[in-house]
């Protein structure tokens, strides 16, 4: 791991991840992702920052929103 990543972990992640992992180990939830999301929402209840998207990322998002033609055909066949 390079120095830049280590610096980012120490400055930004450690203060969030360590307490969350502590709570996970204390509660041992069956649904870990749900617990993590709920914990983050209650601990850091603030609006998400606006994310700047590159043009390429925007194109990928549009592809994901567009129904896949093969899936559409399969749904049509199974629903008849």
| Contact present, 20 and 36 (Cβ < 8 Å) | yes
CA 12, CA 78: separation in Å to the nearest integer? 49
Tokens 């601990």 label which residue? 43
What are residue 32's phi and psi, to 5 degrees?
-60, -50
**Tell me: the pLDDT tens digits for 20-59?**
999 999 999 999 999 999 999 999 887 767 766 666 666 6
Q: At what angle do helices 14-27 and 32-43 cross, to 10 degrees?
A: 130
DSSP SS3 for 13: helix
Average pLDDT, the chain: 79
For the entire predicted model, the pTM comes to 0.55
For the chain, what are the domain ranges? 3-79
């Amino acid at each position: 791991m390079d120095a830049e990543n280590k610096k980012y972990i120490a400055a930004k992640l450690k203060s969030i991840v360590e307490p969350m992992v502590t709570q996970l180990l204390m509660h041992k939830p069956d649904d870990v992702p749900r617990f993590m999301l709920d914990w983050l929402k209650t601990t850091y209840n603030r609006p998400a920052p606006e994310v700047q998207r590159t043009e390429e990322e925007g194109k990928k998002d549009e592809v994901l929103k567009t129904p896949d033609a093969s899936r559409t055909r399969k749904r049509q066949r199974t629903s008849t």
